[in-house]
A and B are shown apart, each in its own frame.
Chain A
Amino acid sequence: MGGMQLAGANIRTRLGEALRDTGLTALIALLLFLPLVGFQTITDIRDVLILTTRWPLLFTLVGSIAGVRFIYVMALAPRLERGALRLPQRASATAASILRNWFIPFAVAFVIVYPMLVVLAAGFGGAVRWVDNFGIQILIYVMLGWGLNIVVGLAGLLDLGYVAFYAVGAYSYALLAKAFGLSFWILLPLAGTLASFWGILLGFPVLRLRGDYLAIVTLAFGEIIRLILINWVPVTNGYAGIGSIPRPTLFGIPFNADDNGFAAVFGLEFSPLYRVLFLYYVILALALVTCFFNVRLRRLPIGRAWEALREDEIACRSLGINTTNTKLTAFAMGAMFAGFAGSFFAARQGFISPESFTFLESATILSIVVLGGMGSQIGVAIAAVVMIGGTEIMRQLGFLKQIFGPTFDPTQYRMLLFGLAMVAIMRWRPRGLIATRAPSVFLKKRRHISVDLVTEGRG
């Protein structure tokens, strides 16, 4: 009897608490979204700015946030509190190890058969969009993420201008292919070499800088490259960009509708899908090569020196490690993979302009590395899928227009999703999705190291 009364009082206090909490959350959401979502400025035909309001959308947003908060406080929070006390440690550990053992082969097999699955599901015509927008786009960022991982994750050098090397690779391919008619397969390594040369060039002046100062200079370097691309009009064609860049061929067989094109040679009906499939497997191979290099380098003395450099530079010097060369190789290696990715990007798009190499790109790649867990291959890949796949999905959500009216454009909310993912990760997994470091060598048993012990690197 007394117990039931107590439970009733308990629920009542919890309800009061939840209502108060929900009200506060709704208020904060309202204040935040009122200027962001509630008001909208539109330019009309006479070029006059008109302020319109979007009350239904605003109240839907605020209402759903308040609803989620209410459910969380009432139902989820007490359960989580109880759950936290008796968390089955061992079960989660074995589950993690099963996941670790089976995830990689499964993931590799999946990305290899992915285009075929898409063709089966969406047919020949519909598959192009899925392979191109999701497959190729995501794989480019996976590759960039793995490349930047060398610089940021392993060597601990915060690089905010990574997109500069991506641009160098893209423009190297575009300019050399147009000027000398060299093929993609010759220019790919050349673009990588040029990009790594620029990596070393950037590396030299910033060797003495650490942490925030290094980040600022690399940021500036990224902008310098972009401004050169804009202003060196005779070579780069400025804002207008470079068009009709030669596409890669399969041993000299182009992917077009001509008589000597891929479809005609193999007696198939012409479809743009063949080129997309070819490009998909090229970038998949490039990404896997990047991954292989990353995994291999970590187990070589240079990789261990990078990680040691991130942990303690002075100790490295006391052990006879030339920190200058070590840092420069990290910059050069990271830049090289960006160069490969850049030349692939130019070959795939057929058109490049400085617009593709803004700071936002650097920020996206860096956030993929940070969200994935610095130094973790799988984490970076997962983060790239979520971030790039997520923003691409927003493009496909046209049906939402029927709910929120024809002016609602889901692609404009991509950055909101981005921010949300960032906040969520920083709240629950501040060191990234994969927050353990696998040792590069072991005597008896490979024990994963909690990332709390690993230095983030201030160099």
Chain B
Amino acid sequence: MTTRDGSTVLRVEHLTMRFGGLVAVDDLSFEVRRGTITALIGPNGAGKTTVFNCITGFYRPTEGRLALHRGDPAVWQALEALTDSGRRGVARPQGALFLLERMPDFLVAQQARVARTFQNIRLFAGMTVLENLLVAQHNPLMLASGYTVLGLLGLPPYAAAERAALDKARHWLDRFSLFDRADDPAGELPYGAQRRLEIARAMCTDPVLLCLDEPAAGLNPRESAELNELLLIIRDECAISMLLIEHDMSVVMNISDHVVVLDYGVKIADGAPEAVRNDPKVIGAYLGVGDEEVARVEAEVGL
């Protein structure tokens, strides 16, 4: 339905997050375009995960506007009116627009349909792989079960909804090569499979925007390459937009369409991967020196 028409799916404007005296994110603005993969990179402690937590509603930003859109781009025109109205979002038949900074975390996932994964994997370890994927479909299933009343009576509409949910789970299990382990507890999976399961679980919520916090962390080079391929396939087939935090430069350079670089909470670069890679400011940030010294330090370390 949605295509890579280049319209904006997420617009972050003047995002600032303060923790007491510490400014974790300082006046950050960027955009995520529909059907693209945007990477958020930066040295340790640059504020990447804080940005994620703001977008997904786990933190309430100190300042700034986070607007998420789906459907017809014309709905963007309602942004200013929505901001002034004080409401959380507008949903019209042709599309919807949400102000994420006004929504609690579970509504960001439920209504704005932003899904996320975590840096330290958060699976339901004591539940099976399949159950994990069904929990992700909680809201549609809850509606189908008539908020439990119809489900308790075992009426057919719920049975049909559950079958559909199982089919969707099966589809994603297949996609992430987890089908054989569907009935195993999630906590027993090897590390790489747990990472994949977490992404599969996020995909089961039918997201508009998928936020991946270091999906390749702890994976070996082969697993990492497989994950790259998988993410590209998902992007193209589901026309989904992704925002990812990553330290693994092979992942960042191979799959992202756009890169935003943060250092000490400030955006220092924003552009295509090639351009960012050669930006002296970015190299300086990673090497821990000012940009005027980059050439000297590079010569020193033999780059």
Contacts and interface: CB of A to CB of B under 8 A. Distances in A.
Contact of A311 (B109, B124, B142, B166): B124
B151 A301 contact: yes
Interface string B157-173: 00000000010001000
Contact of B125 (A301, A302, A320, A455): A455
- With most chain A CB atoms within 10 A of its CB, the pick from B106, B124, B126, B205 is B126
B121 to A, nearest CB: 9
A304 B134 CA distance: 8
B152 A293 contact: yes
Nearest to B154: A296
Given A301-B151, A443-B183, A319 B205 contact: yes
A319 B110 CA distance: 7
A282 to B, nearest CB: 21
B56 A304 contact: no
B188 interface: yes
B105 interface: yes
Given A440-B131, A441-B130, A320 B183 contact: no
B115 to A, nearest CB: 7
Contact of B201 (A319, A443, A454): A319
B105 A446 contact: no
A329 B106 CA distance: 17
B124 to A, nearest CB: 4
B109 A315 contact: no
A323 B130 contact: no
B23 interface: no
A312 B148 contact: no
A321 B135 contact: yes
Contacts of A208: none
Contact of A319 (B58, B109, B125, B151): B109
A421 interface: no
B183 A442 contact: yes
A196 to B, nearest CB: 13
Contact of A296 (B125, B134, B137, B152): B152
Given A305-B138, A443-B170, A320 B127 contact: no
A307 B124 contact: yes
A126 interface: no
A301 B141 contact: yes
Given A444-B182, A444-B183, A308 B106 contact: no
Contact of A441 (B109, B110, B116, B131): B131
Contacts, number: 138
A445 interface: yes
Nearest to B184: A447
A308 B131 CA distance: 9
B116 A318 contact: yes
A441 B134 contact: yes
B185 to A, nearest CB: 5
A300 interface: yes
B118 interface: yes
Interface in A275-311: 293, 296-297, 300-302, 304-305, 307-308, 311
B39 to A, nearest CB: 20
A320 B110 contact: yes
Contact of A302 (B105, B148, B154, B166): B148
A329 B147 CA distance: 11
A314 B59 CA distance: 12
A123 interface: no
B123 interface: yes
A437 interface: yes
A301 B146 CA distance: 10
A453 interface: yes
A297 B127 CA distance: 16
B105 A443 contact: no
Interface of A: 293, 296-297, 300-302, 304-305, 307-308, 311-312, 314-323, 329, 437, 439-447, 449-451, 453-455
Interface of B: 56, 58, 105-107, 109-110, 115-116, 118, 122-128, 130-131, 134-139, 141-142, 145, 147-148, 151-152, 154, 166, 170, 179, 182-185, 187-188, 201-202, 205
Given A301-B137, A304-B134, A441-B128, 15 more contacts: A296-B151, A296-B152, A300-B145, A302-B142, A302-B151, A304-B131, A311-B127, A317-B109, A318-B202, A319-B201, A319-B202, A320-B106, A320-B110, A439-B183, A443-B182
